[in-house]
A and B are shown apart, each in its own frame.
Chain A
Amino acid sequence: MAEPSPFLEIRNLSVEVAGAPVLQNVSLRVAAGKIHVLLGPNGSGKSSLLAAIMGLPPWRITSGAILVDGTDISGMSVQERAQLGVGMAFQRPPSLDGVSLSAFASALGAESRLAEAAEALDLADFIDRDMNVGFSGGEIKRWEVLKLILQGPRLMLFDEPESGVDLEHVMAIGRAIRKVVSMPDAEGRARAGLVITHTGLILNHVAAAQAHILAGGQIVHSGDPASLFAHIQANGYTVPTAA
Chain B
Amino acid sequence: MGDIAVTEPATVLSNSERETLMDVGFDDVGTRAATGVLADSTMKLAQSNDAGVVIMPLAEALRTFDFVQDLMFSLVDPEANSHIRMVAEHMHDPLGHFVWVKPGAKVQLPVQTFTLLETPQGRQFTHDVTLIDEGAEVEMISGAAAPSDVHRGRHISVCETYLRPGAKCRSVSIEHWGAGMEVYAYSYSRMERGAQDQSLSIALAPIDHHESYASCTQLEDTTSVAQSICFAPGGTERVVRTETILAGTGAKSEDLTRMVSAGGRILNDARLIGAAGGTQGFLGCDGLKLGEDGGIVAVPALDARAEGAQLSHEASVGMIDSEKLSYLMASGLSEDAARDLIVQGFLSLDDAAVPSALKSHVTDMIARAKSGGM
Contacts and interface: CB of A to CB of B under 8 A. Distances in A.
Contacts of A151: 331-332
Interface size class, chain A: 20 to 34
Contact of B344 (A56, A94, A98): A98
A40 B58 CA distance: 76
Contact of A147 (B326, B331, B344): B331
B322 A87 contact: no
Contacts of A83: 332
A78 B329 contact: yes
B329 A82 contact: yes
Interface stretch (A8-16, A101-109, A213-221): A101-109
Contacts of B345: 96-99, 103, 130
Contacts of B342: 96, 99
Nearest to B348: A98
B79 interface: no
A83 B333 CA distance: 8
Nearest to A153: B332
B299 interface: no
A19 B346 CA distance: 34
Given A79-B334, A79-B335, A99 B341 contact: yes
Contacts of A55: 330
A94 B324 contact: yes
Interface in B333-362: 333-335, 337, 340-342, 344-348
B341 A104 contact: yes
A98 B326 contact: no
A90 B344 contact: no
Given A78-B326, A94-B324, A99-B341, A87 B331 contact: yes
A81 B326 CA distance: 12
A54 B330 contact: yes
Given A96-B342, A98-B345, A108 B323 contact: no
Contact of A107 (B322, B341, B346): B341
Contacts of A87: 330-332
A57 interface: yes
Task: Kindly name the residue among B324, B330, B334 whose own CB sees the greatest number of chain A CB atoms within 10 A.
Answer: B330
Interface string B232-273: 000000000000000000000000000000000000000000
Nearest to B322: A57
B346 A97 contact: yes
Interface residues of B, number: 23
Contacts of B322: 57
Interface in B295-335: 321-324, 326-335
A88 B329 CA distance: 11
SS of A interface (majority): mixed
B330 A98 contact: no
Contacts of A130: 345
B332 A82 contact: yes
A93 interface: yes
Contacts of A153: 332
A108 B328 CA distance: 10
A78 B330 contact: yes
A90 B337 contact: no
B126 to A, nearest CB: 34
Nearest to B347: A98
Contacts of B347: 98
B120 to A, nearest CB: 38
Contacts of A54: 330
Contacts of A147: 331
A90 to B, nearest CB: 7
Contacts of B328: 96, 104
A94 B329 contact: no
B348 A108 contact: no
B322 to A, nearest CB: 7
A79 B327 CA distance: 10
B326 A56 contact: yes
Contacts of B346: 97-98
Contacts of B329: 77-79, 82
A98 B332 CA distance: 19
Contacts of A88: 330
A153 B333 CA distance: 12
Contacts of B326: 56-57, 78
Contacts of A90: 327, 330
B344 to A, nearest CB: 7
A93 B342 CA distance: 14
A103 to B, nearest CB: 7
A1 to B, nearest CB: 36
A94 B332 CA distance: 16
B369 to A, nearest CB: 15
Nearest to A93: B327
Interface in A101-149: 103-104, 107-108, 130, 147
A79 B339 CA distance: 13
B331 A82 contact: yes
Give the 9 A-B CB pairs with smallest separation, nearest first.
A98-B345, A98-B348, A99-B345, A82-B332, A79-B329, A78-B329, A94-B324, A151-B332, A94-B323
9 contacts: A78-B326, A78-B330, A87-B330, A87-B331, A96-B345, A99-B345, A99-B348, A107-B333, A108-B333
